[in-house]
Structure 1
Amino acid sequence: MLYEQQQPMIKGSGSRGGMMEEERLEIVDLSAMSLDSLPNPSLNLATICKLDLSNNNLQNIPESLTARLLNLVVLDVHSNQLRTLPNSIGCLFKLKVLNVAGNLIEYLPKTIENCRSLEEVNANFNKLIQLPENIGMELRNLKKLSVNSNKLLFLPRSTSHLTSLRVLDVRLNCLRSLPEDLENLVNLEILNISQNFQFLRSLPYSIGFLLSLVELDISYNKITSLPTSIGCLKKLQKLCVDGNPLMSPPPEVMDQGLYAVKGYLCQKMNSPSPSSSSGNNNNNESSSPSSRKKKSSWVGKLVKYGTFGGGETRSSEEREAFIIPDYKPIDGLASPRYMGMFSPRRLFSPRNYFTN
């Protein structure tokens, strides 16, 4: 058991004499102690800023305990046997980091929406079926959301309101689709939707309006066509499409690297034709008048914001910069003892990256 005392946090009393009040915050480490239940605390819970209960055998966290952790900033309970989180987690108004990876959780409590200081949530390797419906409307400071290796069928529509989000990792789920209005994720840099296997068959056209996107991994799905809007992602440096039955762009274009792919898609967007969209029902670009109207409106937006990047002139060195680095997962925080839930073929499949 480790208790660490942080530097005193000084608060002004506002009095004329400049009276100051010192509040000493503690780090409490109870990790890897084979705990089945939590011991009675020997200190004031309101003085704890970080609580590590990871790698134990906890099946629940008392509501009364969580409600008194008023100054908690980091809560780490990964690799336990938790099936639920206490509803009183909504009392943790200062909480910034929540790690619940490697448990048996099916639902996050709706009260988590009250934790408006949250910047990072790691819920990998659980049994999540869905996320709270209004999670995106409330957690406006969230920068990283990792929910890989769960059973999610969809992401709530409010996800597109997470305007501070930089990393979204939803690989190894059962996603059928993504929210349509992804363009609101203006700070998103890394999007990993790989290994949803036979469930994910198309991408929304709005994916091309993620102006900050640097890495996109859609490998091991059932996607047959890339939306032409991807050709407008100026900052995109890595695109992984391995394991999809792609027909558009064709293989000979894919073999030339990311620059050629973006150029092909951009050209296709600039020169739409009824015949080019026939048979591509999975690309959300049907030949119906309503679809063509929707597509035209997107083209107007992309031109307005100057996001066309496929046709710009580049040096021969940039065009030839096509490498295949080793695959590196976004998040390695999940407990290694849960890796056995998946076969090596699924987790260690070779990746092909296109890079500028």
Structure 2
Amino acid sequence: MMYEQQQFQQPMLKMDMRKKSIEEEKLEMLDLSGMSLESLPSPSINLATICKLDLSNNNLQNIPESLTARLLNLMVLDVHSNQLRSLPNSIGCLSKLKILNVSGNLMEYLPKTIENCRALEELNANFNKLSQLPDTIGFELITLKKLSVNSNKLIFLPRTTSHLTALRVLDARLNCLRSLPDDLENLINLETLNVSQNFQYLDSLPYSIGLLLSLVELDLSYNKIKSLPDSIGCLKKLQKLSVEGNPLTSPPPLVVEQGLHAVKEYLCQKMNAGHQSPTKKKSWVGKLVKYGTFNGYVRSGARERDQECEAFIMPEYRTMDGLASPRYKGMFSPSRLFSPRTYFSN
């Protein structure tokens, strides 16, 4: 009898678990899009069970702080095409949030607490009125793979942008960018970079843009750029380069018309010529020899195509007494001696 009762209870337990899983599946996504909502109704469900919330294409002007704070398991939040002027500070409570779409609103800033969404992989803030992004955004959103902030009023990108090492796509077109961060080389996974249509504002690029070794697409069109950094010639994975609408002189228009391969070859040759030219600034070793720091000599001998090949030998080392004086201190600073701009400058 005991055995029969046990057999009866076990299927009942399985049915209860199945019902529970079906109920949870129904609560996984809450779709309130396109309902012309001006405010959110009081929820009649447990918000902690929702992992996707779609509030897009409404007339919402704000999202209650209390609502966001209870969405503890939310992974996708879509509020695009509303009338939102800001996000609630409690957005930082969404520790599991992976995708956030706030495009097509009236936002002038993103709350600093968004940095607490450390699981975030995709942030879409296109078509807003953003004039800046949180300064330390790059320190916290270390899993971010796609950052879309096109069609805003951004004057610059935070310097910490270069810490977004997981980033694959950066779309900052149609803004008011004056410049890009200097140390872009840290974006080791970046595949697509679009900074086009900043029109009269963006007139130069950092040398580090040519150190984005994973870059496949680069769109620089419709800016005021006159010269591309020689380092772009080193981008081996680059397959698409858009530079139309710029007053380019280097490379010249005739080279640009021949396509990407011709542009990269031109920039490579220019960089190599700058490196080998005797009229260019000498390397840091040469500077130390010039000022008598090393007691070395230069041996010349082998010639290839009428160009002298030199080998530098340092038989002994002399002290650097006197080089700590103010006169020489700046001359031998690491930022000056090892700067790629100095080494490959025109």
Q: Assess same fold via TM > 0.5.
A: yes
Equivalent residue in structure 2 for 1:204, among 193, 203, 206: 206
Change (3 A) 1:202 1:100: same
Partner of 1:121: 123
Partner of 1:346: none
Q: What is the total number of aligned residue pairs between the two structures?
A: 269
Supply the distance in 2 between the matched residues of 1:122 and 1:206 (Cα, whole angstroms): 25
**1:105-131 per-position Cα deviation (integer Å, ceiling 9, x unaligned):** 001000000000000000000000100
Partner of 2:272: 270
Change (3 A) 1:298 1:190: farther
How do 1:277-292 and structure 2 match up within 5 A? none
Verify: 1:155 aligned to 2:157, yes or no. Answer: yes
How do 1:59-208 and structure 2 match up within 5 A? 59-208=61-210
Change (3 A) 1:274 1:90: farther
Higher relative contact order (CA 8 A, sep 6+): 1
Q: Which amino acid in 2 is paired with 1:156? A: P
Verify: 1:43 aligned to 2:88, yes or no. Answer: no
Structure showing greater Rg: 2
Q: Shift in Å at residue 249 of structure 1?
A: 0.4
Q: Is the 8 A contact 2:207 2:341 kept in 1?
A: no
**1:208-240 per-position Cα deviation (integer Å, ceiling 9, x unaligned):** 110100000000000000000000000000000
Supply the distance in 2 between the matched residues of 1:274 and 1:127 (Cα, whole angstroms): 51
Partner of 1:251: 253
Supply the distance in 1 between the matched residues of 2:173 and 2:278 (Cα, whole angstroms): 34
**1:304-354 per-position Cα deviation (integer Å, ceiling 9, x unaligned):** xxxxxxxxxxxxxxxxxxxxxxxxxxxxxxxxxxxxxxxxxxxxxxxxxxx
Q: Which amino acid in 2 is paired with 1:295? A: P
Q: Is the 8 A contact 2:336 2:342 kept in 1?
A: no
Change (3 A) 1:57 1:276: farther
Change (3 A) 1:241 1:274: farther
How do 1:19-34 and structure 2 match up within 5 A? 24=24, 25-34=27-36
- Secondary structure of the structure 1 residue equivalent to 2:95: coil
Supply the distance in 2 between the matched residues of 1:241 and 1:292 (Cα, whole angstroms): 32
Supply the distance in 2 between the matched residues of 1:233 and 1:95 (Cα, whole angstroms): 34
Change (3 A) 1:298 1:41: farther
Partner of 2:216: 214
Identical amino acids, percent of aligned pairs: 77
Change (3 A) 1:147 1:296: closer
Change (3 A) 1:177 1:58: same
Supply the distance in 2 between the matched residues of 1:98 and 1:61 (Cα, whole angstroms): 14
Q: Which amino acid in 2 is paired with 1:236? A: L
Change (3 A) 1:215 1:291: farther
Supply the distance in 1 between the matched residues of 2:280 and 2:178 (Cα, whole angstroms): 25
Supply the distance in 2 between the matched residues of 1:201 and 1:257 (Cα, whole angstroms): 22
**1:65-91 per-position Cα deviation (integer Å, ceiling 9, x unaligned):** 000000000000000000000000000
Supply the distance in 1 between the matched residues of 2:207 and 2:273 (Cα, whole angstroms): 16
Question: CA-atom RMSD, angstroms?
Answer: 2.2
Change (3 A) 1:291 1:270: farther
Q: Shift in Å at residue 297 of structure 1?
A: 7.5
Partner of 2:340: 295
Q: Shift in Å at residue 295 of structure 1?
A: 2.3
**Which structure dedicates a bigger proportion of its chain to helix?**
2
Q: Shift in Å at residue 251 of structure 1?
A: 1.2
Gaps of 5+ in 2: 1-19, 282-330
- Secondary structure of the structure 2 residue equivalent to 1:271: helix
**1:138-175 per-position Cα deviation (integer Å, ceiling 9, x unaligned):** 00000000000000000000000000000000000000
Q: Which amino acid in 1 is paired with 2:54? A: D
- Secondary structure of the structure 2 residue equivalent to 1:127: coil
Change (3 A) 1:37 1:276: farther
Q: Which amino acid in 2 is paired with 1:231? A: G
Q: Shift in Å at residue 26 of structure 1?
A: 1.8
- Secondary structure of the structure 2 residue equivalent to 1:188: coil
Normalised TM-score (structure 2):
0.74
Partner of 2:263: 261
Q: Shift in Å at residue 291 of structure 1?
A: 7.1
Partner of 1:335: none
Q: Which amino acid in 2 is paired with 1:220? A: Y
Q: Is the 8 A contact 2:228 2:250 kept in 1?
A: yes
Partner of 2:236: 234
Change (3 A) 1:298 1:72: farther
Q: Is the 8 A contact 2:128 2:151 kept in 1?
A: yes
Supply the distance in 2 between the matched residues of 1:72 and 1:161 (Cα, whole angstroms): 26
